[in-house]
Amino acid sequence: MNKQKILSSVISLSLFFTSAFAIESQNVYSYNRLDNSQLETINLNESKNATPSNYKFYVNNVQVDIAAYQIDGNNYVKLRDIAYILNGTEKQFNVTWNNNIIYLNANTSYNVVGGELDKISNTVQFATKSISSIYKDGDIVNYDGYLINGNNFYKLRDIAQSFNFEVSWDTGKVFINTTNQQMIYGIVAENMEAINQKCSFALIDTKTGNVTDTVFDFGEDGSYPEAVLSPSDRYVAFNKWIEKQDRELFVYDLENNISKQLTFESNGEFNRISWLNDYTIIGVFCSHEKNSNGWHMFSFDIKTNEMKFLTNANSIDNQFVYFNGVKSITGQNKILFARGLETDYLTSWRDKKYKNALYICDSDGSNIKELLTFDDRTIGAISISPNNENILIEAFKYPENNNELECSDLYLYNLKTGEYSLLEDGTKNTEIEHWNLNWLDDTTIIYRHQSGWSSLDINTMKKNTLFSKNANIVSIIPKI
């Protein structure tokens, strides 16, 4: 290659880097050079097609005209646009830019620079991975981002998590909530007393118990369905009885409003469902086959439709086992589960009080380790705090005689220290119901009892009544 061709190639490459990374909104910035660490992050294989989003956006129930692209089913927006529409709210922040570094300052009014909420092309665009560094209040943060037509677009979910505002989806709409009104998904029954329940998946105001939006209906079912959100809050995994014979596995895409049945004619039940990651459902399968070998913990990949059994049902002294709670520890490829002997489970409680233990294992079902067991309690539902530090445990005791009621206690288990403590004594204060418990945040739990729903601060032990049983709320959907 002659010198003229080499010089031409160098100039072309320089123009590429200058045009690709020097523009943000309507402001043009010049950079002296890109260092080696920045060059190493450029990977053209990470390019994607960006489709203009058809979603309507709302901030505190007021519609806003914001431009967004969809990449791999996720909404990507400009930081300046989000800062502009949140200006004046509790979650306002400012955006500045210097030498390919973006600085975000929380609780600061936004300085308008022009170009906010500009229209975008209505055709599919070419997107490459953004290499800009982002600092929030002095600390570096990692937002998934792409460069599209000279502007950086970042995943809305990442921004929301960083600034602690709520984002929810419903039928072509994106709701951004910055107020003290706390919204959470839940299952609501049409009539709690009906034998064949008609339930819906809905957004619920935790301050009032009112349903603000019904997302989709489960239809008529012989019992309450289970449902759980994926870590990104995009998908809902749920189970449902089909012709009252098999309890099959389903997934609902909240962004595209599509429901999909995952399993068919299973001749069994998919229960205790949760998520391992954004695309992998975990849970327990119980076969209806006469000669089946007990309950299996499984994983199901919603992308490939591949199902795997993670545990051998005969894994306790060659005896069949049953499972109660099954949950993943987000980002750690670990699974928590409560498990015991099926012979104990099927034996009448009047003849024998069965119990089980809390275990942890790797995401493939290997390296099973016992964490906790109670002498006189059986571990039922478990729920992990958002920061992965504490496990909320519902432990129930069967009555000694006909005059006693079945009751549950709430315990808190610390994953770091291995210590546990009693949070709520079900025999003294409230008759706590099985299964219905979750976290509102890292320190606040929510659970259902005979009189309705309550919240409890694990630090102050302050308890509040959220809403009564007349709200017909079956369960609060766990956030991973």
> What are the tens digits of pLDDT across the range 252-310?
998 888 999 999 999 999 999 999 999 999 999 988 887 666 688 999 999 999 999 98
Does residue 398 carry a pLDDT above 70?
A: no
Does residue 346 carry a pLDDT above 70?
A: no
pLDDT band at 321 (very low <50, low <70, confident <90, very high): low
Q: Which whole number is the average pLDDT over 441-465?
A: 86
The structure's pTM equals 0.68
For residues 320 and 163, give the distance between their C-alpha atoms in angstroms, rounded to a whole number.
47
What is the edge-to-edge ordering of all strands in the sheet holding 420-424?
A: 378-384, 390-397, 407-414, 420-424
Give the DSSP H/E element, type plus range, for residue 82: helix 79-86
Map tokens 């949760």 to a residue. 274
Determine the pLDDT at residue 143.
Answer: 95
Does residue 232 carry a pLDDT above 50?
A: yes
List Cα–Cα distances, 403 to 352, 398, 406, in angstroms.
17, 12, 10
Please tell me what DSSP assigns to residue 316: B
Of these ranges, 27-31, 53-57, 313-317, the one predicted with the greatest mean pLDDT is 53-57
Locate 151 and state its tokens: 């502007």
Cβ 181 vs Cβ 213: under 8 Å:
no
Determine the pLDDT at residue 134.
Answer: 96
Determine the pLDDT at residue 451.
Answer: 78
Does residue 2 carry a pLDDT above 70?
A: no
Q: Which residues of 379-413 are buried (b: 16+ CB within 10 A; e: fewer)?
A: bbbbbbbeebebbbbbbbbbeeeeeeeebbbbbbb
Give the DSSP H/E element, type plus range, for residue 105: strand 101-106
pLDDT band at 328 (very low <50, low <70, confident <90, very high): very high
Map tokens 């589960």 to a residue. 337
pLDDT band at 404 (very low <50, low <70, confident <90, very high): low
Does residue 383 carry a pLDDT above 60?
A: yes
Burial of 267 (0-12, 13-18, 19+ CB in 10 A): exposed
pLDDT band at 415 (very low <50, low <70, confident <90, very high): very high
Strands 463-468 and 334-341: unpaired
Q: By percentage, how much of the chain surpasses pLDDT 90?
A: 44
Does residue 42 carry a pLDDT above 60?
A: no
For residues 350 and 358, give the distance between their C-alpha atoms in angstroms, rounded to a whole number.
24
Does residue 369 carry a pLDDT above 50?
A: yes
CATH topology of domain 221-476: Neuraminidase (2.120.10)
Q: Which whole number is the average pLDDT over 377-399?
A: 86
Cβ 106 vs Cβ 95: under 8 Å:
no
Determine the pLDDT at residue 431.
Answer: 63
Does residue 115 carry a pLDDT above 80?
A: yes
For residues 473 and 204, give the distance between their C-alpha atoms in angstroms, rounded to a whole number.
9
Q: Which whole number is the average pLDDT over 230-258?
A: 89
Domain with CATH 2.120.10.30 in the chain: 221-476
Residue 93's nearest CA partner among 150, 119, 102 is: 102
Q: Which residues pair with 238 in a beta bridge?
A: 227, 250
Cβ 410 vs Cβ 447: under 8 Å:
yes
Determine the pLDDT at residue 220.
Answer: 72
For residues 173 and 175, give the distance between their C-alpha atoms in angstroms, rounded to a whole number.
6
Cβ 466 vs Cβ 449: under 8 Å:
no
Determine the pLDDT at residue 135.
Answer: 96
Mean pLDDT of the chain: 81
Of these ranges, 90-99, 173-182, 372-381, 437-446, the one predicted with the greatest mean pLDDT is 90-99
Please tell me what DSSP assigns to residue 44: G
Q: State the CB neighbour count (10 A cutoff) for residue 118.
A: 13
